[in-house]
Amino acid sequence: MAVFESTQVAERVFGTLFEILLKDEQFTSQLRASNLTIRLTQSDPECIVHVSADALTVGADAPEEATVKIKMSSDTAHQLWLGKLMMPTAIATGKVRIRG
């Protein structure tokens, strides 16, 4: 069974996570300094998050364009944030795909 029961739940959880991160000046200053934008596209359930130093967009209105695009399942994202799965392993096993 999936960790997130619906798109709305996944969007709320990951949206809140990035809202917290965007309050961290070190995080936003690094995004700004590198002119980095991130688009996370998750499946099962679908969840799209677009992050820049100045904005967070969650859902269908998220811009397509981003410096880095990351695709994975919502369960994989959950495992990564909990530290139960390491990013190098996720990339090597194809659970995470990164472009940019």
Determine the structural domain holding residue 27 and report its residue range.
Answer: 7-99
Global pTM reads 0.92
- Helices (H), strands (E): how many in the chain? 4, 5
Tell me, yes or no, whether 2 lies in a domain: no
pLDDT of residue 5: 96
Query: What's the number of domains the chain is made of?
Result: 1
Q: What is the pLDDT of residues 47-76, one digit of tens each?
A: 999 999 999 999 999 999 999 999 999 999
Mean pLDDT taken over the chain? 97
Euclidean distance between CA atoms 96 and 26, whole angstroms: 25
Euclidean distance between CA atoms 56 and 18, whole angstroms: 7
Euclidean distance between CA atoms 75 and 100, whole angstroms: 23
CATH classification at residue 39? 3.30.1050.10
Q: How many CB atoms lie within 10 A of CB 64?
A: 9
